[in-house]
Amino acid sequence: MTKYILPFKVPTKVFIFSILFCLLLFTWQKSTVYAHQDDSSTTAELNLSSFPKQQADYQDSHMTSYGSIILNRIQIEPFNLVATILFLLAIIHSMLTSKFQKKAHILEEQYQNLINQGKRDKNSHSIRASIFHLMGEVEVVFGLWAVVLTLFIAFFYDFHTVVQYMNSLHYTEPLFVIVIMTIASSRPVIKFFELLLGKIVSLIGDSLEMWWITILVITPLLGSIITEPAAMTIGAFLLSDKFYSLQPSNRLKYATLALLFVNVSIGGVLTNFAAPPILMVAGTWNWNTSYMFFHFGWKAVIAILLSTGSFFLLFHHDLTELKGAYQDYRYKRYIQKRFISKKEIEESFERLEQLVDKNVSFTSELDAYSTILQENIKELAKEKLTSEEIKKYNIETAIDEKFNGIIYEEMCRTIPGLLPLEQRPTYVDPNWDQREDSVPAWIIIVHICFLAWTVFNAHEPVLFMAGFLFFLGFYQVTSYYQNRLDLKQPLMVAFFLAGLVIHGTLQGWWIAPLLGSLPPLALNLTGTVLTAFNDNAAITYLSTLVTNFPDELKYAIVTGAITGGGLTVIANAPNPVGQSILKQHFKHGISSASLLKYALLPTFITALIFFLFQ
């Protein structure tokens, strides 16, 4: 019997469950205290407006020590501590996803061995492996822990509080990501930007290095116009096709991913509407596009150029090793496009199938043996049934109906080409999305219009969702020129962001006073570090809650938040988009530690540029 091995040591498992158990006891004890208070105080304590409490509700502006502020806030609202510990556990889980993925692959291999030995059905799959795959999906982590959080809220307060809290949150960003990611990843949009970047590359010199540099520089800067999630989608798809498909070294894979994350995080600050952390403060602090460009934008351009140039020099040897693979890739695509016509080969092969079948009488032989098998089953049935049952039931019809159905299913699965044309199942081409056919210009223009509509109405979910419904209709009409519409990735990313919103909103009790108590340089560094563990948009939003925030501190916190946007998958809202597209190129998933390691250099360069030119 195969021994079941957990992806972590037992003491760690016991430790995590001990924390959850202690939190449960803590919430039970506090909820019991509330239950014994008089009705008026209970109503005041559990009123919707007090969950989560606003910064002013704590009335601790007279306190100067950060430690005393935190202790006072825990005393006033004990659930603050519970929410933050659960958030910390979610972060730890997100950093262990690669271990869950490795365990899932081991379980799959073990289960496949059981299938090969005939101990499991060949069409079944391992439920345990699927569970570990689910636990290893970064996009699922915060959604799963949001469920745990809501259970604790319901236990500490009541279910009505859960419902009201969920309804008080804003889910515009997750909805926007679903729409912008689906449209930006459509074949006409990808083809348009591939042609655009191809023109730039051809002017510089068509090589793998130029494609790599162009995608990592131009695409992030486009994020200031088409929004960062759209830029991440396009950049990730182009890197997947032009670069990751060539099987680069593992360190170059992580370096490229980290550089993409950092560059996209700062590439959207040339305007005041494209980057999530800027959106949180632009209206409150009256920052227009002109202000953004002259205070942040041109510095971001320098940082992107320096970071990309530095990585190009550091990993030039790794890129050079891919030259042969890139030339083979280009030559292969050229030969295939010039000399092979998919339509002509399909028609020729179909005629060949009919000719071979006619010469060897394969279909006739198959029908003959099938008839013999069918008659044998009927004879067996007559032997097993009584004479009364034979008279009562129509054996011939019952067996023919079931037998013919099974034979048809098997032929559809194994040799559909021998079926009559009208009976053949619809063939789903596994390489449909990789075809080289061109897209009519008018379809590309319509898609760009849908993209522009979504960007223009990014803060109006009713409008961009209405546009999305029209886009789906247009996609269906022009499906021949489209790739398959896969909503799984956009929905998973939206689930990730929604979970982050649910958790992140409850962290203001300790982040806001921290931001308001630091000098500029310390605030900048703190913002960068905090961004690694919380969405940078949440960090900048919390800074708007600090009263009398001077301009130098505004600059410090915003530059810190956008600088740290590439350190982890959760640091910047578009990062899960890139992660979901490119994770297929990492055997055991994307390692948080490796991503952090390779993101440190471009993060340092970016921080240095914003500091030197402040």
Chain segment 179-208, per-residue pLDDT in tens: 988 998 899 998 899 899 989 988 888 888
Task: Name the DSSP letter for residue 340.
Answer: -
Nearest to 592 by CA among 601, 584, 583: 583
pLDDT at 13: 53
**CA-to-CA distance for 134 and 82, rounded, in angstroms?**
25
Do residues 505 and 52 make contact, with C-beta atoms less than 8 angstroms apart?
A: yes
| CA distance from start to end of the chain | 65
291: confidence class by pLDDT, cuts 50, 70, 90: very high
Give exposure, 418-440, as e/b (b: 16+ Cβ within 10 Å). Answer: eeeeeeeeeeeeeeeeeeeeebe
How large is the average pLDDT for residues 531-551?
81
pLDDT at 2: 42
Do residues 156 and 30 make contact, with C-beta atoms less than 8 angstroms apart?
A: yes
pLDDT at 30: 55
**CA-to-CA distance for 579 and 492, rounded, in angstroms?**
11
pTM score, two decimals?
0.75
> Does pLDDT of 411 surpass 80?
no
> Does pLDDT of 158 surpass 50?
yes
pLDDT at 47: 44
Query: Which region among 143-152, 232-241, 398-407 has the lowest average model confidence (pLDDT)?
Result: 398-407
Nearest to 172 by CA among 541, 569, 543: 541
Mean pLDDT across the chain: 84
The token pair that represents 235 in the structure block: 């950049």
> Does pLDDT of 92 surpass 60?
yes
pLDDT at 549: 83
Ordered DSSP codes for 448-460: HHHHHHHHHTTT-
Residue type, 455: V
> Does pLDDT of 530 surpass 90?
no
**CA-to-CA distance for 527 and 529, rounded, in angstroms?**
6
174: confidence class by pLDDT, cuts 50, 70, 90: confident
Phi, psi (degrees; rounded to nearest 5) at 218:
-70, -45
Q: Ranked by mean pLDDT, which of 44-58, 137-151, 527-541, 551-565 comes out on top?
A: 551-565
> Does pLDDT of 3 surpass 50?
no
**CA-to-CA distance for 4 and 252, rounded, in angstroms?**
35
Do residues 588 and 250 make contact, with C-beta atoms less than 8 angstroms apart?
A: no
pLDDT at 521: 92
Tell the residue number behind the tokens 């060897």, with chain if given.
360
pLDDT at 194: 86
Percent of the chain exceeding pLDDT 90 equals: 34
Burial tier of 62 (Cβ tally within 10 Å: 0-12, 13-18, 19+): exposed
pLDDT at 43: 43
Do residues 179 and 485 make contact, with C-beta atoms less than 8 angstroms apart?
A: no
Do residues 278 and 540 make contact, with C-beta atoms less than 8 angstroms apart?
A: yes
Alpha-carbon torsion (124, 97, 430, 440), positive or negative: positive
Do residues 85 and 21 make contact, with C-beta atoms less than 8 angstroms apart?
A: no
Would you kindly state where each structural domain of the chain is located, as residue ranges? Answer: 10-37+52-95+137-168, 173-331+438-612, 350-432
How large is the average pLDDT for residues 256-274?
93
Phi, psi (degrees; rounded to nearest 5) at 288:
-95, 180
Residue type, 77: E
Percent of the chain exceeding pLDDT 70 equals: 86
> Does pLDDT of 324 surpass 90?
no
Nearest to 310 by CA among 259, 358, 345: 259
Residue type, 280: M
Do residues 500 and 142 make contact, with C-beta atoms less than 8 angstroms apart?
A: yes
